[in-house]
Amino acid sequence: MNVQKIDIYVDGHPIQSNYCESKGYMMVPALFFKHTYALVDYDGEKRSIKLEKNDIKITFFKDQFVVLIEKGNQLKNETLKISPIEINEEIFIPFQFVTQILKMSILGCSTGGSINLRTNNSVKSNETVFYKGQKNKKMAALTFDDGPDDIYTPQILDILEEKKVKATFFVVGQQVRWQPEIFKRILREGHEIGNHSWSHPNFIELTTSELENEIKSTETEIRSHTGKSTTLFRPPYGFITNSDIQIINELGYKIIMWSVDTLDWSGLTNEEIMSIVNRDLTEGAIILQHSFKNITGRLDGTVKALPEIIDKLIREGYEIVTIPMLLD
């Protein structure tokens, strides 16, 4: 089966998706529909794929032509012209059938070109996604992702302690389990904690249940040390869909992105990091850095740049705050 790429504009926002044709029908991965505010789950035992949006549920069964549709209290079976198929571990389902059942509108469609899709969704979920604080307040927040680790996190904490600055650490659950003493030091020194998932996966590739498990497992680990929950969440890589946002909000989180991406994870020098900060710094900035050793030496530039960033912020009259203070 020949899998290609297509741009699908979801309420005007471009999403590039895999697709293929089978018996004249356009097929897309089931997980694509997370971009349309639908919840998507797999049941390996039943070999089924369930999509849910508002009061409508669609259940497909792999390699079967019968589909189950629930609308409120009504339940009925329909027969498909083409059954769901699995390609490279992705389950493909008929695009136009799903959009019709979930009451979406296809405004334009051309095979191999692009598609304009209107979700007709009444709830917009971007009000709890934050890229920065208020523009009229000269504040900035330092944030560190992926830790704690036993090499870079302690060095970062040393600098923050010396400079008397508080930061926000978006921690990975399994790292907290592996480095509990470093995590306790973060807490002891008064820094803010955010949830950054359990194992740092790409959320776009997760089902609803997998996503919830990543968040809840990390929350349980955080609570075991702090006795309380955090209300801050940052998606790994910043990748997220419309349905993910709704789920995360329902779990009680604000979603924290960033306005200054130092790209320190790529091994930039402190001079290169400072160049980015100088270019992108504005009032209300959320500055993204990292505190985990994926490759030894990769974050040396982060450690060298951090005192310079702090000195620059202070020199230019910024108040360095945690994320909750920035958003208050």
Helix boundaries (H) for 152-241: 152-163, 173-178, 180-188, 208-226
Residue 290 bears catalytic tag: yes
- Reported as type and span, the H/E element at residue 78 is strand 74-79
Kindly name the residue from 7, 244, 290, 300 that is annotated as catalytic.
290
Kindly name the residue from 35, 145, 191, 196 that is annotated as catalytic.
145
- Give CA–CA dist 306/183, Å, rounded: 20
Helix boundaries (H) for the chain: 95-101, 152-163, 173-178, 180-188, 208-226, 242-250, 270-280, 300-315, 323-327
- Give CA–CA dist 307/323, Å, rounded: 19
Determine whether 262 is exposed, middle or buried from the number of CB atoms within 10 Å of its CB (0-12, 13-18, 19+).
buried
Amino acid present at 101: I
Residue 35 bears catalytic tag: no
Amino acid present at 193: I
Q: For residue 23, what are its two tokens?
A: 């018996």
Report the greatest alpha carbon distance in the chain. 68
Q: Are 141 and 287 in contact (CB under 8 A)?
A: yes
Q: In this structure, are strands 105-109 and 254-256 parallel, antiparallel, or unpaired?
A: unpaired
Question: Catalytic residue numbers?
Answer: 145, 290
